[in-house]
Amino acid sequence: MKFKIDENLPSEFAAALIEAGFAAATIGEQALSGAPDSALLDRCRAESRVLVTLDLDFANAQAHPLGTQSGIIVFRCKSQDKLTLLLLLRRILPVFKSRSPQGQLWIVQADRIRYRQE
């Protein structure tokens, strides 16, 4: 599985995903900082990468219909400090063994993951 880490998340997300055996790139590494959402999703689709973000705009299934992108994971938590976010990422890594976010929308919260698919 391949991931693209949005600029609103710590760059350590990419390192944690790579350490877990996945491919990951950050928006900053690919000079996409400040790119419009549509351009970012187009790039993710072209590279077959799941977008990982804090941006709730990407959770809008009407604006970004399921099945039209490679997958989106939105982290939604009260505290958005680096430690909390990294702990939340590490908690969901085992889920990738049994379920893929490809073509789906995942909303990751402190106590659960909500899945939306076509």
pLDDT in tens, 16-37: 999 999 999 999 887 778 888 8
Confidence of residue 85 (pLDDT cuts 50, 70, 90): very high
Cβ–Cβ < 8 Å for 22, 2: yes
pLDDT tens by residue, 63-84 = 877 777 899 999 998 888 999 9
Q: How far apart are CA 100 and CA 117, in angstroms?
A: 11
pLDDT (0 to 100) of residue 76: 94
Mean pLDDT of the region 46-55: 95
pLDDT (0 to 100) of residue 78: 87
Angle between helices 12-19 and 82-92 (to 10 degrees): 20
pLDDT at 99 over 90: yes
Mean pLDDT, the chain, whole residue set: 90
Tokens at 65, concatenated: 């219909």
